[in-house]
Structure 1
Amino acid sequence: MQHVRLPHRRGGALLALLLALLSVTSVTSVAAAAPPGQRTRTQDEPVVSTDHGPVRGRSHGTYATYEGIPYAAPPTGPLRWRAPQPARRWEGVRDAGAPGPKCLQLPVFGPGSLTGSEDCLYLNVTAPAGRAPERGRPVMVWVHGGGFTGGSGSEYDAGRLAARGGTVVVTLNYRLGALGFFGHPELGDAPSFGLADQQAALRWVRANAARFGGDPHNVTLFGESAGAISTCAQLTSPTAAGLFHKAVLQSGSCTTTFPRGAVVPGTPAFSFSAPQKAVQDAGAAAAARLGCRGPGALDCLRGMSAEKLVTPELSQLFSTPAYGNALLPEAPDRALAAGRFHRVPVVQGSTSDEMRLFVGINLDTYPLRNEHDYRARLTDSFGASADAVAAEYPLSAYPTPALAWSALLTDATFACGSYRANKALAGRVPTYAYEFADRDAPLVEGIPVRPGFPYGASHAFELAYLFTAFPLQKPLTEAQVALSDRMTGYWTRFARTGDPNAPGAPRWPLFRDRDPLTLSLAPGAGGIRPADFGAAHHCAFWERQR
């Protein structure tokens, strides 16, 4: 699948917005359900001295939180569309009992006003209670998803990872949409500001992790969806060298792409990177539409209110990292295939039914009722290859056309993309592949129930097994809680040692090119087991279609 030039990305940007659905819907509800000021806590308020001044956190018994810590100066006024600058020192003890503002964003679906602030470069630290070992605890830095247009770090409660796993967890905000991924000729080859923000947060972690009991020489970068795509980009970024020592990619990789019409018929094929020149051209065209032309156009744009810049059109247009700059010299998928990436251990995986979420929430608008609908979508997406895809995914093998379409999209996008990326990684670094396969995973509140269309183990459904406080439509069963505990153990053991295996846990084999086994993660006896992921997801077939 080819890269799509940015000016023609309207349909692809819609897919990027769709990737935000679960994180934005679910975590907004989390924030409403459990605001920091109402959390149960003791009277103890721990104070930690950072390199910019002391912060007062909140104790939660087995762990403590420190929220809303600035890791860079507010990117406002003359600092809009500039590399993140150092935060100012503060006098006295800064209260860190509530998160800072999320970065400016619009609702993913339906009408609504802007939320968040342009002053948004804050992070949050969750640390286990008690004295840290002399060498410090492993540090895990979370990059949130949201299609590069939504979400925030504070929406993920890392108490389980900290308390059960003995890790220091950092969640962060980064600039989004037109404020984070804008380009313009006057900016030259400036990298995507959202990715630069992530690196600035990692530099903060390097300087401050030990103060929270963490080991700055043992940092794991991890993320989901756009956060995983960001993590893979950082794996290939020369300017990220030494900032992290392990990586976990959940449902997103350097090779994640969408075929034409994947969710909305007629929309172009889409990949999560764009040439620098295409981003610059798109920025110049957008500036002209806003009345900012010729020399000084960038100053004109910097003088505008954020409300004129964070619009649906611009947020959709600028939702892709740019390559051809110092941070990303080349497209991340090409760098990965060529072996130009940091030599760190990697965990990478996806869910069994990634695309059911996106197909399911759009069935009212884009129904798949019968063979005619199915064939029409195949022809729109695959053209001359439609017959071959139909033969590989015959309707007779699936209960409904919608489930058949979801299965082939899952394989063509996330599943075989991560499989191909794992093959590129495995010859050079320790690589562990997983598939979240709990097809009875509970839905997050707000996702519509569709009789006859089970969502299964869909996109982002594993998040509730790692982060606490997600508002689910039904609670986890005893077996699912056990799976959650096991996953937490795997993730944090990997962060500690670079190998997720621990005594008493089912063995997680290395992914090798000659023996490409993936660990299937499902509840119940025998639910955690090695599986032939490539065969299950028809990856040899999709490789032939490239």
Structure 2
Amino acid sequence: MYTYCNLLVFFCVHLLYLRCTVCTKNELIVTVKQGKLQGATDTLYDGSTYYSFKAIPYAQAPLGQLRFRAPLPPKSWKGTRQATEYGSICAQTDSVFKGSENCLFLNVFTKSLHGRTPVMIYIHGGSYITGSGNDDLYGPKFLVQHVVLVTLNYRLEVLGFLSVETPEVPGNAGMKDQVAALKWIKENIAKFGGDPDNITIFGESVGACSVTHHISSPMTRGLFHKVIAQSGTSIHDWALGEGSKSRAFRVGKYLGRDTKNTTELLEFLRSLPAANLTNLTIATSTDDEMYRGLPGRFLPVVEKKFDNVEAFLSDYPLNTLQSKRIRKFPLVLGYNSAEAITAIKDRLGKLDIYNNNPSYDVPREIAEKLTQEKMNDMGKRIRKFYIGDREYTKDDYKVIVTMLSDLHLVYNTHRFTYLYSKHNSPIYMYRFSFDTDLNFVKKLILGNLDLDLKGACHGDDVFYMFSSNYTKDAYESQQKLKDYVSKVTKLWTDFAKTSNPTPDYCAAPRWPVYTTKNKGYLDINVQSTAGSFAEKQSVEFWDTLYCETGLPCIKNN
């Protein structure tokens, strides 16, 4: 009798185990519009489980004779698609060639397949030249505790941003990839426990340029509800391309086909392996572009109008920003406290060039309106503002970082914020100042350089939001770093949930809403502080230069 009872208990327990196993496996099969997806489980730092669904094809890549065109609708599949490994990244060369053109994948990370959890969609940076949505940099373990997280790939450089100003190749293919991903997410995210009516798009560097371009684009209406722009906006010189058609012909010439015929050029470029169409930014830059501005050149463009062609951008973002056409979204945006540490090594190696040609520090937007003589005078004014009546030396590395940060990021972030706030609220501005062992980019850039530079450089903030193999050891070994990550991710995810990064239940300091009068911001650090008008003196100096040139500026608005 005892043996029989034991066998019966064992049989019942075994059935229960099998039933739970099947339930768990079935729970990881999600049915989207194109078919079934098999996901995988993983574990967060607190021991809880989350689900991942990787390499989901949100669109078909246009290949062969369709190369450079907008993405095609996603195909359905039969059976269950394995979504347990990352797909190919988009073709790029970062010391070596990687990826392929068949790369239009997104990844979804969620703690539950049920309910309606706020969604955050991350658009990666990388100068529109490199990058992907994979977890080498953008691991989900910090953010997915609070939201459904989506990361994605989009076409880059020539393959993503070639424009010959024709209906066939008007430009912005990479941005239209992003739009296709946003549409797919809107239609399917509820299947992963996400709320399609509470979607925040966020990005860093050109990812931030991208999300602020989406504010202006008529293609993205209804696809998201909040925006976070980290170290980038749509009105920076490095956010919008100029002279794209002539650049396309320089691509052909560099690769062996010197022609002024658009059809011949496209036929030639479509005949080449994808690898040949990467790493062409420097090779196709003009002499002026080699020293003025940042290196990205294959960028979003204002498209020419063609019948039956939907444009991603039909007007300059600065025009849209000042008009009633601009759509209104709750917005968080800002910059890091020492952005241009990323540029200091290169700049110190070219001091003679910049000392002899001060006009190279005049932004492209201004330079296009000035004679060479006036550009030289303005370049000298810029230098005088930072160091007085002398030339830069290597001992000026700290002030050079400040100047380059102001030139490339700080001023135009303030200008964008001010202009947008005239039509929209709430806006929350920040300066990110953390300087810890999570500042991976800064450590990588400075390396063995004997430079005493404090603060957070371009890209350092990413490691306070995303788990990464590059900072894994530091994070796991230092409790204070875990606390800092928790602090930053709470700000970001509270905004995604409530449109307020410091809701009523949060402890002080409260993050002030930015207005044209108070210019409020939060300095995000170990001890965060609220303030008014960050970098006031330098912002007012640069604003004077823009106003004098007749460009939209803060003082004249």
TM-score range, shorter chain: 0.7 to 0.9
Q: For residue 215 of structure 1, give the secondary structure of its aligned residue in structure 2.
A: strand
Q: 1:48 aligns with which of 26, 30, 34?
A: 30
RMSD: 2.7
Paired residue secondary structure (1:507): coil
- In 2, Cα distance between the equivalents of 1:222 and 1:295? 36
1:409 positional shift: 1.4
| 1:115 matches 2:116 | no
Instruction: After TM superposition, give the deviation of residue 451 of structure 1 in Å.
Output: 2.1
Work out the CA distance in 1 between the residues paired with 2:132 and 2:167: 26
Q: Contact conserved, 1:46 with 1:58, CA < 8 A, in 2?
A: yes
Which of residues 381, 402, 408 in structure 1 aligns to 2:397?
402
Give me the whole-angstrom Cα distance separating, in 2, the residues matched to 1:351 and 1:535.
Answer: 12
| Aligned partner (choices 274, 277, 288) of residue 309 of structure 1 | 277
Q: Which residue of 1 aligns with 2:5?
A: none
Q: Is the 8 A contact 2:113 2:191 kept in 1?
A: no
> Which of the residues 514, 518, 521 maps onto 1:518?
521
Asked which structure has the greater RCO (Cα within 8 Å, sep 6+), the reply is: 1
Q: Equivalents in 1 of 2:204, 2:67: separation in Å?
A: 27
Q: Aligned AA for 1:243? A: L
CA contact (8 A) 1:437 1:521 kept: yes
Matches of 1:80 and 1:284, distance apart in 2: 16
Offset at residue 144 of structure 1 (A): 0.2
Distance 2:247 2:346 in 1: 30
Q: CA deviation at 1:435?
A: 0.8
What is the DSSP-based 3-state SS (H/G/I as helix, E as strand, rest coil) of the residue aligned with 2:134?
A: helix
1:461 aligns with 2:460: yes
> Does residue 216 in structure 1 map to residue 181 in structure 2?
no
Match of 1:279 in 2: 244
Specify the alignment match of 1:159 in structure 2: 141
The CA deviation at 1:361 is: 5.7
Q: Indicate the residue corresponding to 2:176 in structure 1.
A: 196
CA distance in structure 2 between the partners assigned to 1:170 and 1:284 by the alignment? 36
Residues 517, 93 of structure 1: alpha-carbon distance in 2 compared, 3 angstrom cutoff:
same
Could you say if the C-alpha distance between residues 449 and 511 of structure 1 is closer, same or farther in structure 2, counting changes exceeding 3 Å? farther
Matches within 5 A, 1:436-475: 436-440=432-436, 442-444=438-440, 446-447=444-445, 448-454=447-453, 456-472=455-471, 475=474
- Taking the TM superposition and a 5 Å limit, the aligned residue runs for 1:336-347 are 336-347=321-332
- Alignment gaps of 5+ in structure 2: 1-23, 44-48, 286-296, 305-310, 363-375, 547-557
> Is 1:420 equivalent to 2:422 in the alignment?
no
Counterpart in the other structure of 1:500? 501
Q: Distance in 1 between matches of 2:247 and 2:354?
A: 34
Secondary structure, aligned partner of 1:216: strand
Change (3 A) 1:401 1:295: closer
What is residue 371 of structure 2 aligned with on the other side? none
Q: Do residues 366 (structure 1) and 345 (structure 2) align?
A: no
Alpha carbons 1:228, 1:253 under 8 Å: kept: yes
1:83 partner letter: A
Q: Where do residues 28-427 of structure 1 align in structure 2 (5 Å cutoff)?
A: 46-61=28-43, 62-107=49-94, 112-128=95-111, 130=112, 132-133=114-115, 136-155=116-135, 156-163=138-145, 165=146, 167-187=147-167, 190-257=170-237, 271-275=238-242, 278-287=243-252, 290-291=256-257, 293=259, 294=261, 296-297=263-264, 298-313=266-281, 319-325=298-304, 326-360=311-345, 363=348, 365-366=349-350, 376=356, 378=358, 380-382=360-362, 383-394=376-387, 400-427=395-422
The residue type paired with residue 88 of structure 1 is K
Q: CA deviation at 1:273?
A: 1.1
Q: Secondary structure at the match of 2:339?
A: coil
- Give, in angstroms, the shift of residue 508 of structure 1: 0.8
The answer to whether 1:432 aligns with 2:428 is yes
For 2:273, the aligned partner's letter is S
Aligned to 1:489: 490
Deviation at 1:362, TM superposition (A): 5.3
Residues 179-226 of structure 1: CA deviation (Å, up to 9, x unaligned):
000012554562410000000000000111100001111111110001
Q: Which amino acid aligns with 2:298?
A: S
Q: Could you tell me how far 1:46 is from its partner in structure 2?
A: 1.5
What is the distance in 2 between the residues matched to 1:191 and 1:237?
14
**Contact 1:353/1:407 (<8 A) preserved:** yes
Q: Residue 333 of structure 2: SS of its match in structure 1? A: strand
Equivalent-residue separation in structure 1 for 2:461 and 2:454 (angstroms): 13
**Counterpart in 1 of 2:20?**
none
What's the CA shift for 1:106?
0.7
Does the 8 Å contact 2:251/2:280 carry over to 1? Answer: no
In the alignment, residue 418 of structure 1 is paired with which amino acid?
T
Question: d(CA) in 2 for partners of 1:80 and 1:533?
Answer: 46
Give the aligned residue type for 1:484.
Answer: V
In structure 2, what is the Cα distance between the partners aligned to 1:379 and 1:321? 25
Quote how far apart the aligned CAs of 1:288 are.
5.4
Q: TM-score, normalised by structure 2?
A: 0.78
SS of the aligned residue for 1:462 comes to: helix
Number of the residue aligned with 2:293? none
Work out the CA distance in 2 between the residues paired with 1:379 and 1:292.
32
Alignment deviations for residues 495-525 of structure 1 (CA, whole Å, 9 cap, x no partner): 11211123133311100001111110001xx
The C-alpha deviation readout for 1:224-271, integer Å capped at 9, x for no partner, is 0010011111111111111111110000012223xxxxxxxxxxxxx4
Please say if residues 281 and 298 of structure 2, whose CA atoms lie closer than 8 Å, have aligned partners that are also in contact. no
Tell me which amino acid in the other structure corresponds to 1:487: V
Residue 149 (structure 1) shift:
0.6
CA contact (8 A) 2:164 2:171 kept: no
Q: Is the 8 A contact 1:483 1:521 kept in 2?
A: no
Paired residues of 1:56 and 1:66 also in contact (CA < 8 A):
yes
Q: Within 2, Cα distance between the matches of 1:131 and 1:73? A: 26
| SS across alignment from 1:211 | helix
CA distance in 2, matches of 1:366, 1:122: 40
Rounded to whole Å, the distance in 2 between the matches of 1:442 and 1:539 is 29
Equivalent residue of 2:155, what SS? Answer: coil
Quote the Cα distance in structure 1 between the aligned partners of 2:133 and 2:149.
Answer: 11
Letter of the structure 1 residue corresponding to residue 181 of structure 2: A
SS at match of 1:304: coil
Report the Cα distance in structure 1 between the residues aligned to 2:54 and 2:543, rounded to whole angstroms.
44
In structure 1, the gaps of 5 or more residues are 1-42, 258-270
The two structures have a TM-score, normalised by structure 1, of 0.80
- Counterpart position of 1:24: none
Q: CA deviation at 1:81?
A: 1.3
- What is the letter of the counterpart of residue 542 of structure 1? W
Q: Which range moves more in the overlay, 449-458 or 200-209?
A: 449-458
Secondary structure of 1:184's match?
coil
Aligned CA distance change for structure 1 residues 274 and 379 (closer, same or farther; 3 Å): closer
Change (3 A) 1:359 1:455: farther
Structure 2: which amino acid aligns with 1:160? F
Alpha carbons of 1:295 and 1:330: their partners in 2 closer, same or farther (altered >3 Å)? closer
